[in-house]
Chain A
């Protein structure tokens, strides 16, 4: 436990003393903010039209109109940004030979994997927390339901957790950061795109199975405001699986 925290602490220090964490966070906040602004603008013109047609203040659901598309946007942007955050985690240590240091220290391999995962989750949580201005603004100027927003954040947080686990796995495969980043990106994209195939194959028995595999499917309920234990189990098992395979790969690399 102590060594896990030591690794996580070192990782955070490196992320925050290099421009890495700041650049990724800034780009994430900028793009999500831009898209959020677009959605709000669209929602306001829509509500004005309704008002003109009905001649009264409309009762529109801001959660549905604004936050559902916003969470969807976040998911897609995370797919592009999180692999950039995870690609260096293990690849860099191998490249600059510090893996030799970690592996010859009395630190269990699991602590290395977990420490790196936790550190990246901290950065990601920080990124996500910064988007909190979105619901706060809506709450101040309009009226929103807080619970569906919180479940939406939980869904996105878990989704990011899976992306980071997959990215970490990709980083364990190579000592080239670019390759690790690209494998990570490809892997999360495939997890997402399985959903499309399930729609076209909806009639075949494979359809529901593919739909179950798709990560988008398991994020949707959270965004709608529902917490389904099935979804929780899906996300949690993907995270555990990702970390487990990473651990195995690292162990097998010792034997080569």
Chain B
């Protein structure tokens, strides 16, 4: 659906993105993950034909963004980081205007309007001035704007920033519902969001793509060892040493916690050591309260990748 090849954008001496290539399948939800200033917005602005790239090529729904920008624009719904709203218009007036500039025929307008008002839960506020709406509603009006012409591709730039937790959950729900019928690219610097909503993640750092994969596979790929977290009520002084001699255990850290002592056991990959450790703890009477496998979160993956990048660059 979206095909991006070697996209580069320079502002004078500053390189915003360099050699970015990726593909997005039809109906997929893809997240662009990266710290602020990594080049997420730049990539999106190029895909939406808002600004041209310095080099490289891209196509959306089979149309080249340089040669047929009008065709591309017809097929994309774009929600920029700050929703582009006319505060002196009512929601209905605004969406009617949008439907006109998106080229929706007059006879289909009422229906298109009713559809997005319902989908974005805006029906109740449709007669109110946008300027008087809360942040959450404004964001929804922004999303409605992107959806009104039922585009094949949706590009959402940080769709949940500035929303309260309840609104964030609602927004994510709406985005999830869009999958399948629409191809969605969204950018975020909030990691759990990418895990919660997306099927695939592109991690972008300082204008370069550092990783592309599913959230699960990304964390698995970067894991060098399994970590198991044990909370013990009554450990003995020799507990740490006893754990270390279990086959496959690489190292043991421990720290106090309100529930007792927490032991982080690092083991070899590929074999589940949990049962073995549990029976050992029970057998020795250490008062086992909790035992879980520690998953490398996307947060760790992200930090790891971006740090490695920086190290490589320094070397």
Interface residues of A (CB under 8 A from B): 2-3, 6-7, 9-10, 13-14, 17-18, 96-108, 254-256
Contacts and interface: CB of A to CB of B under 8 A. Distances in A.
A13 B100 CA distance: 14
Interface string B40-74: 00000100111110000000000000000010011
Contact of B73 (A2, A14, A104): A104
B100 A97 contact: no
B32 interface: no
B5 interface: no
B302 interface: no
B244 interface: no
Interface stretch (B84-92, B112-120, B229-237): B84-92
B70 A104 contact: no
B52 A7 contact: no
B203 interface: no
6 contacts: A14-B89, A96-B84, A96-B87, A97-B82, A100-B50, A104-B73
B93 interface: yes
B51 A255 contact: yes
A100 B97 contact: no
Given A2-B100, A3-B100, A106 B84 contact: no
Contacts of B314: none
A102 B80 contact: no
Contacts, number: 70
B84 A97 contact: yes
Interface string B140-160: 000001000000000000000
Given A3-B103, A256-B11, A104 B76 contact: yes
Contacts of B97: 6, 9-10, 13
B26 interface: no
B51 A106 contact: no
Nearest to A5: B100
A14 B86 contact: yes
Contacts of B100: 2-3, 6, 9
Given A106-B103, A254-B50, A13 B84 contact: no
Given A98-B84, A102-B101, A104-B76, 8 more contacts: A6-B97, A96-B87, A100-B80, A103-B49, A103-B50, A105-B98, A106-B70, A254-B51
B103 A17 contact: no
B172 interface: no
A254 B51 CA distance: 5
Nearest to A102: B101
Nearest to B47: A104
Contacts of A106: 70, 73-74, 101-103
Contacts of A9: 97, 100
A254 B87 CA distance: 25
A99 B45 CA distance: 12
B78 interface: yes
Nearest to B145: A101
Contacts of A102: 101
Contacts of B45: 100
Given A17-B88, A254-B51, A104 B78 contact: yes
Contacts of B98: 101, 105
Contact of B93 (A6, A13, A101, A107): A13
Contacts of A255: 51-52
A105 B146 CA distance: 10
Given A17-B88, A97-B80, A97-B82, A104 B103 contact: no
Nearest to B97: A10
A13 to B, nearest CB: 7
Contact of A6 (B49, B78, B89, B101): B101
A104 B11 contact: no
B104 to A, nearest CB: 11
Contacts of B85: 96, 98
Contacts of A100: 45, 50, 78, 80, 84
A103 B101 CA distance: 10
Nearest to B12: A256
A13 B89 contact: yes
A247 B98 CA distance: 22
A3 B87 CA distance: 21
B242 to A, nearest CB: 62
A106 B70 CA distance: 5
A66 to B, nearest CB: 40
A101 B80 contact: yes
